[in-house]
Amino acid sequence: MKAQGLEQGAVIDGYTIGQRLHQGGMATIWSVTHPDISSPILMKVPNLFEGEDPAAIVSFEMEQMILPRLVGPHVPHFHAAGDFQPQAYIVMERVEGQSLLGMINDLPLPVDQVAALGADIATALDDLHGQHVVHLDVKPSNLMRRPDGRIVLVDFGLSRHDQLPDLMAEEFRLPYGTAPYMAPEQVLGIRNEPRADLFALGVLMYFFATGTRPFGDPQSLNGLKRRIWRDPVPPRTLRPDIPPWFQELVLRCLEVDPDARHPTAAQLAFDLRHPEGVRLTQRATKKKADGFFTALRRRFAGERVRQVRRGAQSNYISSAPIILLALDLSGASDDLTDGLRQTVARLLRAAPASRLACLNVLKLARLAIDRSVDDLGQNKHAQRLGALKRWAAPLNLSEDRLTYHILEAVDPAAAILDYVARNRVDHVVIGARADSTLRTLLGSVSAQVAAHAPCTVTIVRNRAFGQDEGAASAAVS
C-alpha cells in the first residue's frame, strides 16, 4: 500500500487509520488506534508522491532511527515503525495539548512569560542533548506543552544523533532547517553542535517578545548566510520595556560564535529562571545593530566564518555542569567550611565551563511567627547573602560563573531537593556536621539530599568524624 493511497478505515500492521490530523511538507500525520494500546496514538507517514523532495525519505529514515532511542517526558513515546516495503510509518504517542504555533497570534507576549517559556524549552533541550541528539529544527510548530506544563519536542527528521550515521549530511550538501531559526553553523553544514539549538531558541524568544523575527525569513542560501555577518536589531530598540537582562540572554543566544553562547541548555535555563544573577555585558545596553560598513568588513574578512567553524564541537557536547553548594551558615566549623571550599574548587577546576550556585536555606518555624530581622535588627536575608559571598570570594570566580540564592523553608532538605530538580543541577556539595540525638532521630539534611537527589552528591564531613580525605561522594540516580 502506497502512502498516497492511505485513507480512513485502512489497517496497517494492526493499526486502524483514523482522521488525518496534519498534511506537512515531508509527512502526513494520522490518528490511529490499536486493540492493544489504550492511550491516544498517531501515525506519521512520509510523503512519497511523484516529485517529492528526496530529503523527505532520508529525514524519515533518520526519525525512524532516532525516536526509538529517546525516552522521557520531553519526547513522544515511540510505539512502532514500518519499513518502506510495503509501507513506511512511525507510530508514537499523541501528545495532549497544543503546539506553540498558536501563540504567534498573540505576539508580542509579556517578557516574564517568554522567559518562563524559554526556560522550559531549554530544559527539554538539555534532556535531549543528554541523549546525544541535536534537534536542529527548534521552532514553535515543533514544540508542544503537556497539561502539566512540560515541553515536548517533536519531529526529529532533521536531527543529528552522535552515535548514529548522519544520513542527511551524507546524502545532501545544502543545509536543511527552517530558515528563520537556523544557526550560522547549521547554515555552513555543521550538524553536530548542540548550541545550534540555543541559537534557535534565542530566535524564538526574540520573536515572541517583539513580534519580529530577528533575521526575517530568507528564502535563499545567500540570505541565510547574512546572519553570519549581520547582527539583529537589539530587542529593546523594538520594545523599550524589555529589561536589560532579557536582551543580554537573547543576544547571547544569537552570537555567531557558538563558544560565545551558553555552554549548555541547562545553564541557559538557569539564567532565565534567575535573572537577578545574570551578568550584564555590552549586549544588555546595545541600542542598534552594527553599521553597514562593519558588516561589510566582516563579510569579506571571513573572521566570523572561522569563528563558527572553530567553535563548532567535534565531540558533541562540552562538560559544563551546574554545581550547587548547599552551605549551612549556622555554626558550621571552620574545618568543615574549608573542606567544602576545597571540594568545590576541585570540581570547578575539573570542568572550566561549569557554574556554581551557592545556596543557603533560612529555616522557618512550623508554628511560630518568623521575623525577617535578628535580635540586633539586621535583615537575615541580607546577612546570609553577604556570608555566601564571603565564602565564595577565595574561589576567584568570574560573575558569569557564580550566583547566590537564599531560600526560606520549613524543611531545608525538601527545599534543596526542589531547587535541584527545577534547575537541573548536576552535582550537589553539602556538609555533614557533628552528630546529635535530634539528627539521629529525624535524619540529617545531607543524608536526605544524598538519598533523594537526582544527581551526584558529595558529602563533606568534618575531619573530627575521622575522615582522612574530608569528603565522601555518592552517585544517586
Q: What is the DSSP annotation of 284-345?
A: HH--SPPPHHHHHHHHHH-HHHHHHHHHS-SSS-----EEEEE---SS--HHHHHHHHHHHH
- Three cell numbers, residue 428: 550537589
In whole angstroms, give the CA distance from residue 101 to residue 249. Answer: 22
Look at residue 216 in the predicted model and tell me its pLDDT.
Answer: 95
- Bridge partners of residue 134, in order along the sequence: 160
Q: Rounded to the nearest 5 degrees, what angle is found at the Cα of 166, between the Cα atoms of 165 and 168?
A: 145
Of 125, 129, 122, the closest CA to residue 318 belongs to 129
My answer on whether omega of the bond before 68 falls inside 30° of 0, hence cis, is no
Whole-structure pTM value: 0.85
Is residue 30 within 8 A of residue 16, CB to CB? The reply is no
Look at residue 127 in the predicted model and tell me its pLDDT.
Answer: 96
Tell me the domains of the chain and their CATH numbers: 3-93 (3.30.200.20), 100-311 (1.10.510.10), 322-475 (3.40.50.620)
CA distances in angstroms from 308 to 134, 187, 196, listed in the order given: 17, 10, 11
Is residue 76 within 8 A of residue 93, CB to CB? The reply is yes
Count of CB atoms situated within 10 Å of the CB of 288: 9
- Bridge partners of residue 323, in order along the sequence: 356, 427
Look at residue 352 in the predicted model and tell me its pLDDT.
Answer: 86
pLDDT digits (tens, 9 = 90+) for 105-141: 999 999 999 999 999 999 999 999 999 999 999 999 9
In whole angstroms, give the CA distance from residue 93 to residue 254. Answer: 33
DSSP annotation string for 211-267: SS-TT----SHHHHHHHHH-PPPPHHHH-TTS-HHHHHHHHHHT-SSGGGS-SSHHH
pLDDT digits (tens, 9 = 90+) for 14-28: 999 999 998 887 789
* Ranges of residues in the chain whose predicted pLDDT is under 70: 1-5, 49-53, 310-318, 331-332, 366-378, 433-443, 463-477
In whole angstroms, give the CA distance from residue 295 to residue 83. Answer: 49
Phi and psi at residue 86, in whole multiples of 5°? -90, -15
Is residue 421 within 8 A of residue 318, CB to CB? The reply is no
Burial group, residue 363, by CB count within 10 angstroms (0-12, 13-18, 19+): middle
In whole angstroms, give the CA distance from residue 132 to residue 135. Answer: 10
Look at residue 318 in the predicted model and tell me its pLDDT.
Answer: 53
Q: For the chain, how many helices (H) and strands (E)?
A: 17, 16
In whole angstroms, give the CA distance from residue 200 to residue 233. Answer: 16
Find the farthest-apart pair of alpha carbons in the chain and give their distance in angstroms, rounded: 82
Is residue 42 within 8 A of residue 65, CB to CB? The reply is no
Q: Which residue has the cell 483514523?
A: 18
Q: Which residue has the cell 524559554?
A: 118
Q: Rounded to the nearest 5 degrees, what angle is found at the Cα of 256, between the Cα atoms of 135 and 263?
A: 60
The half-sphere exposure of 472 on its side-chain side, counting CA atoms within 13 A, is: 12
CA distances in angstroms from 335 to 233, 389, 428, listed in the order given: 52, 18, 19
In whole angstroms, give the CA distance from residue 256 to residue 263. Answer: 14
